[in-house]
Chain A
Amino acid sequence: MSVRDLKGRRRWLALAGCLVWLAFTLFPLYWVGITSFKSPVGVVGGPTYIPFVDFEPSLTAWRELLSGARGQFYSTFMASTIIGLSASVAATLIGAMAAYSLVRFQFQVRLLSGLIFVFVAVGGFLLLRDILGMGQALALIYSFIAALGLSVISAWAPLPGPILKNKDIVFWFVSQRMFPPIVAAFALFLMYSEMGKLGFKLVDTYIGLTLAYIAFSLPIVIWLMRDFFEALPVEVEEAAMVDNVPTWRIFFGIVLPMSKPGLIATFMITLAFIWNEFLFALFLTNSRWQTLPILVAGQNSQRGDEWWAISAAALVAIIPMVIMAGLLSRLMRSGLLLGAIK
């Protein structure tokens, strides 16, 4: 039975239910909207609901926000935009490559090679730092390079033990998102500040925060894109292979255009995640490359909860994403594969 079949009173009840839910979801947005136009006195003086009737709108909050009186609004907005766009593009591109290779090629990784990596990385770090007295950052770099080299070389040797296949590798990627981000945030901050001591500044830099976001977005990108690539007909790529089209050209010229809806959806999800991300931005930036979530949270100052300012900043954070989603959803129309195969 569908809602369309309902008759009489039931139909009105269903409509009423939908309207209640609509009001429930829209009201917070409305509330943020009108609050940003209230004066400080209007906010504190008890709830008022309708502009021009209940209260006189004021542009105080917006004027303060846009004039930069409450934090570097423009630079924050630009930082959010630059980091958000570049990290999403990079993560989508790199993740798509990884996902494609996981769909079209069979990988075999020996579990023992993975264990060798862990032991050499951790053991080598402890050895270099505690016994040979090397600096934290250098010890880390050397032990990881050694671990990577050894594990790659050992993968060729006929080691005993289980062999990990593609689905294990995908699980490994996705598992990166299963532990609480705070764990990674702490570790990243420590690593970044050690790198800073070596003269390679990462904290509060564009490259530092972008790299962190790319790394943290990759699992979800790989997971999503893998599904899109699996749905592609392999014959189209085989036709190109027979036609002597190089592999990179097949990927960029045929596979990526065919999975455009998936790429855009994945890009959108990644961008939304990065745009809204708070924890990494809090740890890894302090002034120059602060992002919007930090600015919004920063409105909560020593003077108490200044809701008018928070509301204006929150709206600024929401609106670009709404516009982006609206524009890109037009490109996400399905049916792009139509005509490739029967």
Chain B
Amino acid sequence: MSQIDLERVTKTFGTVEVIPPLDLNIADKEFVVLVGPSGCGKTTTLRMIAGLETATSGVIRIGDRDVTDLRAGLRNCSMVFQNYALYPHMSVAENIGYGMKVRGTPKTEIAKAVADAARILNLEPYLNRKPSALSGGQRQRVAIGRAIVRQPDVFLFDEPLSNLDAKLRIEMRTEIKLLHRRLQTTIVYVTHDQVEAMTMADRVVVMNQGRVEQAADPITLYERPRNRFVAAFIGAPSMNFIDGALERGDGGVNFVAEGGVKIALADARVETLSSSVGEKITLGIRPEHTMNAEQAFPAVDIKVADVEPLGPHTLAIGKAGQADFTAQIDAASPVRPDEMLRVSLNPAKMHFFHANSGEALGRLEG
């Protein structure tokens, strides 16, 4: 068993509190991704689990062991770094086997472990090369090989794909997922790339300023974000937000915002939002939940500033009233910059947030 528990863990550097009391539980064999903007404390959290930083207070447990004050080497974790951190003067085989050699493992055993790792990671032709003679993707595979021969309780990945080019990143993403399925080891993975987080994780932990904003599986994060920060962070292109208020009128409840935006709410939504009528709230709608104007759906007018044809569909970027707005429309739509465009919003996919606290209002259960 190698679950990880962080209880009331804090970290301060000098007088700066990077992590306010943080609770996080990671189940055995789970693939958890910590994601957030830079400086949100995700790497510090990972380094505290690894033992490269000591927690200022709180308790860290791996399995049943309290490792809070244990040094990094004794925690039985393996770590893969963003910049590979290979030993430049050793060959690939020596890099992978160095830890075992230091621990006094017999040579034949090392050779077998290295050969196994090389086979899994397709490194067999390169075993005698120095890291300087490898490409970025190969180097990162060597780093992963060095991690797996340790047979650790926990794998820790610190933005391992950020230095690779886009195509390789997608390939390695799949490789790491396959590796997880094969090895069945707990993985904690840090990234600032929400696509990486969504595609790889069993569970995504969205962090901001040292706090956990929401921890859930990718689809829940996407469909039912707990607050505006999570809603804005997850999804690309990013969710549109229109600040306004709910008002009664025309025989129902409307969302009204500056610039002539007025959206009638369906009855199902009115029930859950009725307590917020009259308050300032924010409407959120993802670009992929907008479409060319249709009679049945509420609509907004946007003044188009730029058009991005992507092939399957086109993005129209502009303003709805005062708010920035990106709409996803048919590829065939003849829209030009500086024109007005009427787009419909899928009422079932609208999100509402409390304007001040950013908390989601009337979340649809299901």
Say whether, besides A236-B86, A236-B87, A339 and B132 are in contact (CB < 8 Å): yes
How distant is B10 from chain A, measured CB to nearest CB, in Å? 21
Cβ contact within 8 Å between B87 and A235: no
Interface positions, chain A 199-229, Cβ under 8 Å from B, are none
Interface positions, chain A 298-342, Cβ under 8 Å from B, are 335-342
How distant is A257 from chain B, measured CB to nearest CB, in Å? 4
Interface positions, chain B 111-148, Cβ under 8 Å from A, are 130-134, 136, 139, 143, 146
Listed residue (A241, A243, A336) with the most chain B CB atoms within 10 angstroms of its CB: A243
The size class of the interface chain B forms with chain A is 35 or more
Q: Which of B75, B88, B103, B139 contacts A336 (CB 8 A)?
A: B88
Cβ contact within 8 Å between A337 and B81: no
Cβ contact within 8 Å between B130 and A242: no
Chain A residues with Cβ under 8 A from B134's Cβ? Answer: 339
Cβ contact within 8 Å between A342 and B132: no
Interface positions, chain B 189-207, Cβ under 8 Å from A, are none
| B150 contacts partner chain A, Cβ-Cβ < 8 Å | yes
- Complex Cα distance, B306 from A227, in Å, reads 50
- Complex Cα distance, B172 from A202, in Å, reads 64
How distant is A21 from chain B, measured CB to nearest CB, in Å? 38
Chain A residues with Cβ under 8 A from B150's Cβ? Answer: 243
- Complex Cα distance, B87 from A239, in Å, reads 9
| B218 contacts partner chain A, Cβ-Cβ < 8 Å | no
- Complex Cα distance, B74 from A241, in Å, reads 9
| B85 contacts partner chain A, Cβ-Cβ < 8 Å | yes
Cβ contact within 8 Å between B146 and A239: yes
- Complex Cα distance, B318 from A146, in Å, reads 78
Say whether, besides A243-B150, A244-B99, A335-B132, A238 and B74 are in contact (CB < 8 Å): no
Say whether, besides A242-B73, A242-B77, A245-B99, A338 and B132 are in contact (CB < 8 Å): yes
- Complex Cα distance, B251 from A185, in Å, reads 101
| B353 contacts partner chain A, Cβ-Cβ < 8 Å | no
Cβ contact within 8 Å between B72 and A241: yes
Chain B residues with Cβ under 8 A from A339's Cβ? Answer: 86, 88, 130-134, 139
Q: Which of A246, A338, A340 contacts B87 (CB 8 A)?
A: A340
| B84 contacts partner chain A, Cβ-Cβ < 8 Å | yes
| A78 contacts partner chain B, Cβ-Cβ < 8 Å | no
| B268 contacts partner chain A, Cβ-Cβ < 8 Å | no
Cβ contact within 8 Å between A233 and B146: no
- Complex Cα distance, B155 from A69, in Å, reads 73
Chain A proximity mask over B75-95: 1 for CB below 8 Å, otherwise 0 = 101110111111111000000
Cβ contact within 8 Å between A239 and B79: yes
Cβ contact within 8 Å between A235 and B98: no
Chain B residues with Cβ under 8 A from A253's Cβ? Answer: 98, 102
Q: Which of B51, B77, B88, B136 contacts A258 (CB 8 A)?
A: B88
- Complex Cα distance, B71 from A243, in Å, reads 11
- Complex Cα distance, B133 from A244, in Å, reads 27
Cβ contact within 8 Å between A242 and B84: no
| B178 contacts partner chain A, Cβ-Cβ < 8 Å | no
Chain A residues with Cβ under 8 A from B50's Cβ? Answer: 242
Cβ contact within 8 Å between A340 and B84: yes
| B25 contacts partner chain A, Cβ-Cβ < 8 Å | no
| B52 contacts partner chain A, Cβ-Cβ < 8 Å | yes
How distant is B6 from chain A, measured CB to nearest CB, in Å? 18
Closest residue of chain A to B89, judged by CB?
A: A257
Say whether, besides A241-B72, A243-B98, A342 and B163 are in contact (CB < 8 Å): yes
Cβ contact within 8 Å between A239 and B132: no
Chain B residues with Cβ under 8 A from A238's Cβ? Answer: 52, 72, 79, 81, 85
How distant is A277 from chain B, measured CB to nearest CB, in Å? 33
- Complex Cα distance, B130 from A336, in Å, reads 10
Interface positions, chain B 145-162, Cβ under 8 Å from A, are 146, 150, 156
Cβ contact within 8 Å between A340 and B73: no
| A20 contacts partner chain B, Cβ-Cβ < 8 Å | no
| A10 contacts partner chain B, Cβ-Cβ < 8 Å | no
Chain A residues with Cβ under 8 A from B102's Cβ? Answer: 243-246, 249, 253
Q: Which of B72, B79, B83, B143 contacts A233 (CB 8 A)?
A: B83
Cβ contact within 8 Å between A341 and B73: no
- Complex Cα distance, B87 from A336, in Å, reads 10
- Complex Cα distance, B51 from A336, in Å, reads 29
| A59 contacts partner chain B, Cβ-Cβ < 8 Å | no
Say whether, besides A238-B81, A241-B73, A245-B99, A254 and B87 are in contact (CB < 8 Å): yes
- Complex Cα distance, B88 from A342, in Å, reads 11
Chain A residues with Cβ under 8 A from B136's Cβ? Answer: 342
How distant is B303 from chain A, measured CB to nearest CB, in Å? 43
Cβ contact within 8 Å between B99 and A241: no
Chain B residues with Cβ under 8 A from A337's Cβ? Answer: 88
Cβ contact within 8 Å between B139 and A239: no
Chain A residues with Cβ under 8 A from B103's Cβ? Answer: 244
Q: Which of B51, B78, B85, B156 contacts A235 (CB 8 A)?
A: B85
Cβ contact within 8 Å between B131 and A233: no
Cβ contact within 8 Å between B83 and A342: yes
Cβ contact within 8 Å between A244 and B85: no
- Complex Cα distance, B71 from A233, in Å, reads 20
Chain A residues with Cβ under 8 A from B131's Cβ? Answer: 338-340
How distant is A253 from chain B, measured CB to nearest CB, in Å? 8
Interface positions, chain A 139-174, Cβ under 8 Å from B, are none
Chain A residues with Cβ under 8 A from B82's Cβ? Answer: 235
Closest residue of chain A to B139, judged by CB?
A: A339
Listed residue (A235, A236, A239, A242) with the most chain B CB atoms within 10 angstroms of its CB: A242
Cβ contact within 8 Å between A245 and B73: yes
- Complex Cα distance, B146 from A340, in Å, reads 13
- Complex Cα distance, B128 from A38, in Å, reads 58
- Complex Cα distance, B150 from A341, in Å, reads 21
Chain B residues with Cβ under 8 A from A342's Cβ? Answer: 83-84, 136, 163
Knowing that A338-B131, A340-B84 are A-B contacts, what are 16 other residue pairs whose CB atoms are under 8 Å apart, sorted by A's residue number? A238-B52, A239-B143, A241-B52, A242-B75, A242-B77, A242-B79, A244-B74, A245-B73, A258-B89, A337-B88, A339-B130, A339-B139, A340-B86, A340-B87, A340-B88, A341-B83
Interface of B with A (CB < 8 Å)? Answer: 50-52, 71-75, 77-79, 81-89, 98-99, 102-103, 130-134, 136, 139, 143, 146, 150, 156, 163
- 18 sample A-B contacts, Cβ–Cβ < 8 Å, listed by A number: A233-B83, A233-B85, A236-B85, A239-B79, A239-B146, A241-B71, A243-B98, A243-B99, A243-B146, A257-B89, A258-B89, A339-B88, A339-B130, A340-B86, A341-B83, A341-B84, A341-B85, A342-B163
What are the 3 A-B residue pairs with the smallest beta carbon separation, nearest first?
A339-B131, A244-B73, A339-B132
